[in-house]
Structure 1
Amino acid sequence: MSLNTYQFDQVRVRNKLARMVIIHEYPLSIVDHIGFREFVADLQPMFKLVTRNTLKSDILKIYDNEREKVLKMTDKNGNRMTITIDTWTSSNKKRGFVYVPSPHTKDVLAEVLVDFFLEWNIDKKLSIITVDNCSTNDAIIRLLLNKLDISSLMLGGSMLHMRCAAHILNLIVQDVLSLIGDGTEMIRDSVIYWTGSPKRRQKFEENARQLRIQYTKELVLDCKTRWNSTYLILSTALIYKDVFPHLAKLETFYTYLPYDYD
């Protein structure tokens, strides 16, 4: 007769709980949720559910361990690194790769970047930093060149600054689009109106078919700062250019009809 023994590992399960929260971005307060606590208690009564502070501590330990692995890997790798930098405003003010406190001046941004490079031990491994083509980024790169060891950079740092080609192209196209800005706004407002509800979408599609226009593409709304999405809204609206005036005769509240030259 054999007897199977089971030894419960509290630390291992705590680690699994922390990784679950990291992977799925669950709130730390999940350990306070009644339903979750009842589920864990039934699943494994031997597990002592931790507080949110302990859970936070376990997550930070995982981060430190993973960071050490990355540092060892980069130390062994003799190649240089190319860095791409961008900033944005998040709904969660401290959510991001690196949180940057206000004010977001060139000096603050340059200081944050230097600290980041030093923290990850890549300040002497840099090859190129790619940034958007704006004057603030020009100033940041100049400050970085003063703060970094020039002798460790390629060609004394002359190759460090790379302006983002996609951003430059976007600026060029946005300048061109500004010439037809009024027409674009009318078309955009029309699309907003006819995609505002399922009922309006259906009415637009029905009228297109009545005019014997194949409804092969749905109207799409663009992101104003992305020229390729503006191209899509214009090219799609062009397919249905005869539908808009037809609907204007039927819909009293539709007041965004583009002119022919639009």
Structure 2
Amino acid sequence: MEKMREAAAHWVLMHKHPFSILEEEGFNFMMKLGLPDWQKISRNTSKADCVAVYELEKKKLKNLLKNVNKISLTTDLWKSKNQKIEYMVITGHWIDSSWKLQKRVLSFVHIPPPRKGVEISDAIFKCLKERGIENEIFTISVDNASNNDVAIRLLKDTFSMSKNLVCAGKLFHVRCCAHILNLMVQDGLSQIVDITDNIRESVEFVNRSDGRLLLFADIVQQLRLPGRKLFMIVEQGGTQHLRC
């Protein structure tokens, strides 16, 4: 039963199930058939087991990082739509002794607004300090938000005191290429917003009725056009993305 509790905790974490799923009658009926000695696990017990798994994995990661000479970081901030809470995740990237690229989530923390550069800097440094890698940082990649610029500048000043930065910190701050590319695309789309709006309205008009969809398919066949899906503009994080 102890092994099953551990497995249940991993299952909950792996699939993001609520702790209360282990209290469901149907679930416990199924488990009792497969394991007569099965004992119902309460949501509080499940929560405690999941925290125990997290602490164990945290220790394993800290031991793994002891063999890392240089590590690069990526970090991002976003707001959860469901919880209305703002988070920051810090991910570490390094090459191991077998020359394989490794990637691990180092921290996932709640940072309340207004998320100033000082607060971001403190959260990152606290994470590095807890994992014992504050002197092993190679680069940090962030997007072009002004608060990130402040945070990186503060961190660079802090790490420069120990003189552990490669090339005197010239390579320390790496701007996210994906974010730069996204800004370029959004700027380009803003120039054709009238066209994209017309496309969106047309697609919504056709998709609003099964009859229109059938008529659209007939027209495609009559004109012998290659099979294509309709384009739709999808809202993601306040920006618009074309998707087919």
Q: In which range does the TM-score fall when normalised by the shorter chain?
A: 0.7 to 0.9
1:140 is aligned with what amino acid? A
Q: Does 1:75 align with 2:86?
A: no
Q: Given the alignment of the two structures, is residue 32 of structure 1 paired with residue 6 of structure 2, yes or no?
A: no
- Under a length normalisation based on structure 1, what TM-score does the superposition of the two structures give? 0.74
Q: What code does the residue aligned with 1:61 have?
A: A
- Please give the alpha-carbon distance, in whole angstroms, between the structure 2 residues aligned to 1:77 and 1:102: 31
Letter in 2 for 1:99: V
Instruction: Give the conservation status (yes or no) of the 8 Å contact 2:160–2:169.
Output: no
Does the CA-based 8 Å contact 1:114-1:147 persist in structure 2? no
Q: Give the alignment of 1:64-103 within 5 angstroms.
A: 64-78=55-69, 80-93=70-83, 97=89, 98-103=108-113
Distance 2:10 2:166 in 1: 39
Please give the alpha-carbon distance, in whole angstroms, between the structure 1 residues aligned to 2:212 and 2:131.
53
After superposition, the CA RMSD in angstroms is 2.6
| Secondary structure class of the residue paired with 2:78 | coil
Alpha-carbon distance between aligned partners in 2 of 1:109 and 1:199, rounded to the nearest angstrom: 53
Task: Give the structure-2-normalised TM-score.
Answer: 0.79
**How far has the Cα of 1:118 moved from its partner?**
1.8
The more displaced of 182-191 and 52-61 is 182-191
- Give the CA deviation at 1:141: 0.8
Call closer, same or farther: CA 1:64–1:165 in 2, change over 3 Å.
Answer: same
Work out which of the residue numbers 179, 182, 186 in structure 2 matches 1:174: 186
CA contact (8 A) 2:121 2:155 kept: yes
Q: CA deviation at 1:36?
A: 1.2
Q: Which residue is 1:124 aligned to? A: 135
Structure with greater helix percent? 1
Equivalent of 2:219 in 207, 229, 254: 207
Structure 1 or 2, whichever has the larger Rg, is 1
Distance 1:102 1:45, change over 3 A: same
**Higher strand proportion:** 2
Give the match's secondary structure for 2:229: coil
Inter-partner Cα distance in structure 2 for 1:196 and 1:147: 57
Separation in 2, partners of 1:27, 1:33 = 11
Deviation track 1:218-250 (CA, whole Å, cap 9, x = no partner) reads: 1131346799953x66xxxxxxxxxxxxxxxxx
172-181 or 52-61, which deviates more: 172-181
1:138 and 2:149 are equivalent in the alignment: yes
In structure 2, relative to structure 1, the CA distance for the partners of 1:44 and 1:112 (3 Å cut) is same
Q: Which amino acid aligns with 2:28?
A: R
In the alignment, which residue of structure 2 is the partner of 1:257? none
The answer as to whether partners of 1:100 and 1:109 remain within 8 angstroms in 2 is: no
Kept in 2: contact 1:100–1:112 (CA 8 A): no
Shift of 1:193: 2.4
State the alpha-carbon separation in 2 of the partners of residues 96 and 112 from structure 1. Answer: 9
Matched with 1:218 is: 229
The alignment partner of 1:49 has SS state of coil
Q: What is the aligned partner in structure 2 of residue 105 from structure 1? A: 116
Could you tell me which amino acid in structure 2 is paired with residue 85 of structure 1?
T
* 1:44 maps onto 2:35 in alignment: yes
Give the partner amino acid of 2:109. Answer: Y
Percentage of pairs with the same residue? 29
- Deviation digits for residues 70-111 of structure 1 (CA, Å, limit 9, x no counterpart): 111110232x11211111112343687423232122222222
1:217 Cα offset (Å): 0.9
Displacement of 1:28 in angstroms is 0.4
Note the C-alpha offset of 1:185: 1.5
